[in-house]
Each structure stands twice: as C-alpha cells, then as structure tokens.
A and B are shown apart, each in its own frame.
Chain A
Amino acid sequence: MPSEISGEVRPEASFFKSKGRFHGIPGWIFSTDHKRIGILYLISILLFFFTGVSLGFLMRLELIAPGPTIMKPQTYNALFTLHGVIMIFLFVIPGIPSIFGNFFMPIQIGARDVAFPRINLLSWWIYIVGAALVILSLFTGGGPVDTGWTFYVPYSLRTTVNVPLAVFGVFILGFSSILTGINFVTTIHRLRSPGMNWFRLPLFVWSLYATAWVQILVTPVVGITLLLTLLERLVGVGIFDPAKGGDPILYQHLFWIYSHPAVYIMILPAMGVISEIIPVFARRTIFGYKAIAFSSLAIASVGSLVWGHHMFVSGQSDLASLIFSLLTFLVAVPSAIKVFNWVATLYKGSIEVKPPLLFGLTFIFLFSIGGLTGLFQGALATDVHLHDTYWVVGHFHYIIFGGTGFALFGALHYWFPKMFGKMVQNTIPYLSWGFLFVGFNILYFPMLILGWEGMPRRYYDYLAQFHTLQLTSTIGSWILIAGLILMFGNLFYSLLKGERAGENPWGSATLEWQIPSPPPKENFEKIPVVKKGPYEYERE
C-alpha cells in the first residue's frame, strides 16, 4: 500500500449527493467544494471547446477552395480571432488546472480542499463573467473583433469593431487565472498531509505548482497591456501610438511577456497528466522523478524570458533577437528531459495500452513533432521565412492540440471513473482515438508544408497552388470532428449507462485512488499519513 489511511473507511454519500446550504443548481453554482467547482469548470470549459471547434470547422469550410466559399472576408477575420480567443483564454489556459487541478490536487496532497475555497468559487464566477463579456462583444459595439487573438496595435486601436469589450472580457478572465494560481501555491505549501513532503508529491502537483507561479507572476502583464489598449481607445493616452511618440513594438513586448509563458501554463499541467498516466500503465515507478519535477520549474522560469522569439521580424534589434533565440533553444532542454524520462519509464515496463495510456503516448508523439517544428522558428534565419505562415499554425496546433488537447482527453479517460463512479465503455475510445489521430494529422501536417511553401496565415484567400493541401486539411478536420463526436458521445453515454467503478480500477498508487468513486465531500475519512512516494509499483 503506498499510503496508510488510519481508521476505517465508512461508506459516505458522494460529493454529488451531499447537502450543503443550497440544493439543486444553487447547490452547485454556490458550492465551495473543490470537486463541484472542478465539475462546473468541466461543463463550462467543454462548452467553449465545442464552440471553438465549431468556429474552426467553419473556417476550414471557407478554406476548402480559393475565393469566397461560404462567408465574406470580414466574417473570416472575426472567426479566426474568436477561434483563437475562445480556444486560448476559455479552453486551454484554464483547461487542465481548473478542471483536474481543482478536482484532484487537494486529494493528491491529502487535503480536504484548497486553501481558499470561497476564492476558488469566485475564480469560476469571474471566468463566467469574463467569458460572457467576450461573447457579448460579438453582438454589441461594432461587432465581433477581427484583430486576431493577439490584438496587435495599431490595428486594434483603429478597427471599428468591439475591441474594448472583448479586451475587457479577457482582462477579467485574467483575474480568474491569478486567483487560481494564488490558491494553488498556498494550498500546496500549506495543506499537504503529514508525511507528504515535496518529493512524495505526484508530478501532476509539481506541474500545477510551477504553472500557478506563472499564472500569478505574468498574467498581470497582459492585464496592464489590455487595460492600456482599452485606455488608448477610450481616451487616447498615446502609449502605443507613434503619432504621439509611442512604440507599437512595445505593445508586442508587453503582450508576449505574458503570452509566451501562457503557453507554458497550457502545457505544464498536460505534461503533469502524462507523468501520472505513464507509471500506472507501465506498472513502474517514474524514471527521474526529481528531473521531471525540477524541469517543470526550469520550463516556467526560462520560459518567461523567451518572449522575443515571437518578434524576430517585428523590427526589434538584432541583438535582442539573438539573445531571445539563444534562450529559446535553452528552454527546449527541460522539455526534452521530460520526454526522455517518460520513454525511459516505459522501457521494460509491463505495458497495458488502455485508453489513458493511448492518449498519453499520442501526446508524446504529437508534442515532439510540435516541439521540433518550434526549433525551426527559434532559429533566426529560418524564422524569417516561416513567421506568419501556416507553418506556425501547424506548429502550435501540434503542441497545443496534439499536446494539451490529447492530454486532456487522456485525463478525462483516466480520471472519469473517479469523478463519476462509472467506467468508460472500453472499446469506443480506441475507435474514436483512430479518427482523432488520423484526422488530426491530415488536418495539421499539410499546414507545415503549406507554410514551408510560403502560404501566409490568417488569409481568407489563397493561390491555386495551395488548393490541394488546403482541401486535404479541411477533410482532415471532418475526420477529427467525427472522432470528437464519437469520443464525447461515448463519455456521455458512459456517464449515464457505464458500469459502476470501484475505488481503483487502474491499480494506481496516488491518493485519489484510495478513496471511493466518486469521492465523498470531505475526501478522506481521516487525513492520510503518507509514508511512500506516489509511483511505487511492485515489479512483476
């Protein structure tokens, strides 16, 4: 037994049934129970994911052939902007930390809840308000934003669409992120159960810890940047306006000082999920626990200093470009360390490719492709050709979707039994994985080629020579979406009709698997005293 729970486990009502001050829906949306809040995030985040997917579907439809297909250019600009804003700010950034971090981190450290349960609920409410404002901006003011999710000046200052409201919505969303970060750092420092020292923490918790620091420390920078953009539009302060002495490149600096580390907010928790899944399904302890733990911190810190690699062709100085390029190559190292260690964990393991592991392995494959394509962009000479082309679009979809997206799918399949007390029907995931994997690569690999051949990104129209690959990519999107429908359909079906799940269907060694499925409201009958590490499996 990896940990001893002192005292008996009496069957308690699951957190779904326990009664607080409110009943029914108020019992959920005013709950301070981290598990209920995790579910609230799950529902809202998935809703926005489906919205983002629909936008992507429409974009790909337009791009199936050159020239206008189903929409006008302005609509297309609004679509790719919204697709980005929704996917990044409403799906991937909150994604894994807010759903699985909220649900499982306290349990994994042996606590009953986070340090600030009411602030946790506030975080969700702020998320909803921010999202609502962004959605409202679609239908008010000058209409949906068309600047790209990056809101670059000077265009964002001049376009007549509803930039102020959209930007204000994103500003509000930032608070949700910061508060979650504060909550998680404090929780991990203060609420670990007896015996749960830092090096017995599951690696998922380490990844959330590093992520939380990034959330606290860099989100305010985009906060002030968006605030200044808002001020500029409302009263004309002139800080980014060259006519008033301002420097538009400074906008890019401030924007990317946040938005680059933001991609580490996106990927670190996903890597944490992979570190959880691999030991369980290889029945081996993780290879290089400390290396993985510290690499999360290294990625968070060095990754906060590479933002200029988004600006190689912006007009920034050559010296700055050189330095940012060097730092960018450095930050690839800790990520590579993780990949090596995961593979080493699998080596000579007793491997069972159940759905969580299948998604985990796919993560490693797709993330590696994405990471390697990033190196081409990190090198100055090649970036000059690749910047603002479809190569970049391919790159980040491989990393974010192939990486974080698939990790999230893996997390869903892995933790589903624990969250809902039901097993996922176990053949459909393989089928849906097939559609997802094939569709994903047909959708995104052509983009790498298109970019290499010079097709710019965010373009509504394109030359005839790019048609075949664009058509291929659109077909890929249909296959991918079929996979998503299958996968989520199966999960929903399993929610209603799945077999009852026991405490520990995967035979995992971390604390969340030592309590009932679903967990009771207080998580533990008695706070566990921890005596061993999180991945101690017996050799077969």
Chain B
Amino acid sequence: MNGNKDDTSSKIGMWLFILSEIILFGGLFILYAVYRFKNPSAFHLAAEELNRPFGTINTLILITSSLTMALSISCVQKGNRRSSLVFLLATLLLGFVFLANKYFEWAGKIHHEIYPDSPRLLERNKGEILFYGLYYSMTGLHGLHVLVGLGVLLFMGILITKRKIDETNFAPLENSGLYWHLVDIIWIFLFPLFYLIP
C-alpha cells in the first residue's frame, strides 16, 4: 500500500521523535539542575578535573560534523552524488573521532580510578560523586546516540552509493541529518554544563 508515502509525513515523524529524545535527556537535565543547585562548589571542583581543551575540541568536532552533514544533504539535493558521499564520509570520520576522544577521556578517568562506585570516588565529597554519576550517565547516553547515528549514516552512505537516495528521494538522508544535528545540540548543552563550571 503506497498511498501514504509522503516526505513531509516522515519529516514530521522524525521531528516528533526528536522531541521525545529531547525529553529523554531532559530528565537527566532535571537531575543535573537539582544536584548542581544543591552542590555548587563540589560540582565546580569536579569539573576542574575534566580536560577543558579536550572538551572544546570535541565540541568543535561535532559542530563541524553538523556542517558536513548539512553539506552532504545539500549535494544530494543538487544531484551531486560524489560530493555528497565525501561530505558524508567526513561526518562519519568526525563522529568517529569524537567517540575515540570520549573513549580516551573515560579511559583516563577510569585509570585514575574515578568511575561509578569506585572506592576512590566514594571517598570524595557527595557532590563530586553525583557529578561523576551524571557525567558518566549523560555523556554515556549521548555517546550511545552518536554511535547509533554513525550506524544510521553508514547505512545512508550505502543507499546513496546504490542510488536509492538521490535528488528525487532524499527524505531518509534529510531525516538522518535531523537526528545527527540533535546529537550535536545535546552536546552543545552538555559541554558547558560539565566542562565550563567556573
């Protein structure tokens, strides 16, 4: 039954899904707001241990990946298959580097025995324990979303290669782009909340 295939409908569906994702992270932001309110100096202390330049670079990486994503879609819309694949590849690469950085950050912390329920962490101030609980949960959930996004974009790349996505049919790529931009926006908020507490 083909009568209901409609690009605008699928775009609306994707936006509605995005709204639900915003609320998913919103729940964590509620927790963050409350715990930071109650433990301001502990949060500041803990945030100082995070690597600010690393976090900034990761932010720039995601922002740039959003650019390459938008350019990739734009190229498909113009019928420029080759360029669109190049930009999509760039997005994938940038996303991958983001995740690699995250891995190194986490590995560093874990190496210093700062992870949920570690004896070292439990010795600290309660506010710091909460900070790291939120840090791992929120960046972890975000990282999971980046990973899924990479999978989706890889699949889109295959569709473009097989010409299943082209200038007459690009809604799947557009909608994947919306998801990717959402992942970027979430990080845009996570970055100052975890790395830039003055």
Binding site for B on A (CB under 8 A): 32-33, 111-117, 119, 178, 181-183, 185-186, 189-191, 216-221, 223-225, 227-228, 231, 235-239, 244-247, 250, 253-254, 257, 522
Residue ID in chain B nearest A190 by CB atoms: B9
CA distance A115 to B13 in the complex (A): 9
Apart from A119-B13, A216-B20, A244-B126, what are 11 other A-B pairs with CB-CB below 8 Å? A114-B4, A115-B13, A181-B16, A185-B12, A190-B6, A220-B23, A221-B26, A224-B24, A231-B116, A237-B137, A238-B117
B23–A221 CB distance below 8 A: yes
Smallest CB-CB A-B distances: 4 pairs: A245-B126, A236-B117, A224-B27, A220-B24
Residue ID in chain B nearest A228 by CB atoms: B137
Residues of A within 8 A of B24 (CB): 220-221, 223-224
B127-138 near A? 1/0 per residue, CB < 8 Å: 101100110110
Residues of B within 8 A of A238 (CB): 116-117, 129-130, 133
A342–chain B nearest beta-carbon distance, Å: 31
Main secondary structure of the interface of A (DSSP, over half): helix
A180–chain B nearest beta-carbon distance, Å: 11
B24–chain A nearest beta-carbon distance, Å: 4
B141–chain A nearest beta-carbon distance, Å: 8
Asked, given contacts A112-B4, A236-B116, whether A254 binds B27 with beta carbons under 8 Å apart, the answer is: yes
Residues of B within 8 A of A183 (CB): 13
Asked, given contacts A112-B1, A115-B9, A224-B27, whether A244 binds B16 with beta carbons under 8 Å apart, the answer is: no
Binding site for A on B (CB under 8 A): 1, 3-4, 6, 8-10, 12-13, 16-17, 19-21, 23-28, 30-31, 34-35, 39, 116-117, 122, 126-127, 129-130, 133-134, 136-137, 141
A244–B122 CB distance below 8 A: yes
Residues of B within 8 A of A254 (CB): 27, 30-31
Asked, given contacts A221-B23, A237-B116, whether A116 binds B137 with beta carbons under 8 Å apart, the answer is: no
Residues of A within 8 A of B130 (CB): 238-239, 244-246
A498–chain B nearest beta-carbon distance, Å: 29
Asked, given contacts A115-B13, A182-B13, whether A224 binds B28 with beta carbons under 8 Å apart, the answer is: yes
B175–chain A nearest beta-carbon distance, Å: 12
B23–A244 CB distance below 8 A: no
B37–chain A nearest beta-carbon distance, Å: 11
Residues of B within 8 A of A257 (CB): 27
Asked, given contacts A115-B9, A221-B26, A237-B116, whether A185 binds B16 with beta carbons under 8 Å apart, the answer is: yes
A59–chain B nearest beta-carbon distance, Å: 32
Residues of A within 8 A of B122 (CB): 244
**A231 partner, pick from B10, B16, B19, B137, beta carbons under 8 A:** B137
Inter-chain residue pair count (beta carbon < 8 A): 116
CA distance A220 to B25 in the complex (A): 8
A218–B23 CB distance below 8 A: yes
Asked, given contacts A32-B1, A219-B20, A244-B122, whether A239 binds B137 with beta carbons under 8 Å apart, the answer is: yes
CA distance A189 to B13 in the complex (A): 11
Asked, given contacts A115-B4, A245-B130, whether A235 binds B23 with beta carbons under 8 Å apart, the answer is: no
Residues of B within 8 A of A178 (CB): 17, 20
B34–A250 CB distance below 8 A: yes
A189–B12 CB distance below 8 A: yes
CA distance A253 to B34 in the complex (A): 12
Residues of B within 8 A of A114 (CB): 4
A429–chain B nearest beta-carbon distance, Å: 35
23 contacts between A and B (CB under 8 A): A113-B1, A113-B3, A114-B4, A115-B6, A116-B9, A117-B4, A119-B13, A191-B4, A216-B20, A217-B20, A218-B23, A220-B26, A220-B27, A228-B137, A231-B137, A237-B117, A237-B133, A237-B137, A239-B31, A239-B130, A239-B137, A250-B31, A257-B27
B18–chain A nearest beta-carbon distance, Å: 10
B9–A182 CB distance below 8 A: no
Residue ID in chain B nearest A33 by CB atoms: B1
B56–chain A nearest beta-carbon distance, Å: 26
CA distance A186 to B9 in the complex (A): 6
**A116 partner, pick from B13, B21, B28, B30, beta carbons under 8 A:** B13
**A244 partner, pick from B3, B17, B133, beta carbons under 8 A:** B133
Residues of A within 8 A of B31 (CB): 228, 239, 250, 254
